[in-house]
């Protein structure tokens, strides 16, 4: 099996906390991932206030904001045989119902070529 990072993004209020219903949906989804023995690292939410963006030329800006209206809200690491398998799992994540999105990236071992 191979490790994949799921990067959760949203364009909603970056300072809003999840509702109790959203937390319950996430809990149920996470239990599904664990039951499938795919969880490597459950990750965490990421801070909005304690964040900096470093750009070329050593330009440092306050906040995690990219050049678009989305921001990273958290991450996790799962294991699967293929990226397509992770994609099917990610399609069921409740962040999608809230208007967010999920980026999937394979974790490369030292010396492994990105193919």
- The C-alpha atoms of residue 52 and residue 1 are separated, in whole angstroms, by 34
Between 53 and 92, the higher pLDDT residue: 92
DSSP class of residue 45 equals B
Q: Picking from 35-39, 46-50, 66-70, which range would have the lowest pLDDT averaged per residue?
A: 66-70
Quick: pLDDT tens for 73-95. Answer: 889 999 999 999 999 999 999 98
> What is the arithmetic mean of pLDDT over 40-65?
74
On average, the pLDDT of the chain sits at 84
Which residue has tokens 């750009």?
55
Model confidence, pTM: 0.81
Give the pLDDT of residue 60. Answer: 76
């Amino acid at each position: 099996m191979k490790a994949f990072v799921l990067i959760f993004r949203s364009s909603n209020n970056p300072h809003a906390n999840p509702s109790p219903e959203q937390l319950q949906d996430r809990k149920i989804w996470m239990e599904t991932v664990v039951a499938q023995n795919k969880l490597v690292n459950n990750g965490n939410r990421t801070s909005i206030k304690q964040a900096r963006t470093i750009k070329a030329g050593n330009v440092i800006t306050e906040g995690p904001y990219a050049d678009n209206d989305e921001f990273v809200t958290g991450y996790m690491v799962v294991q699967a045989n293929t990226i397509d398998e992770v994609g099917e799992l990610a399609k069921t994540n409740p962040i999608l119902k809230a208007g967010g999105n999920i980026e999937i990236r394979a974790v490369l071992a030292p010396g492994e070529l990105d193919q």
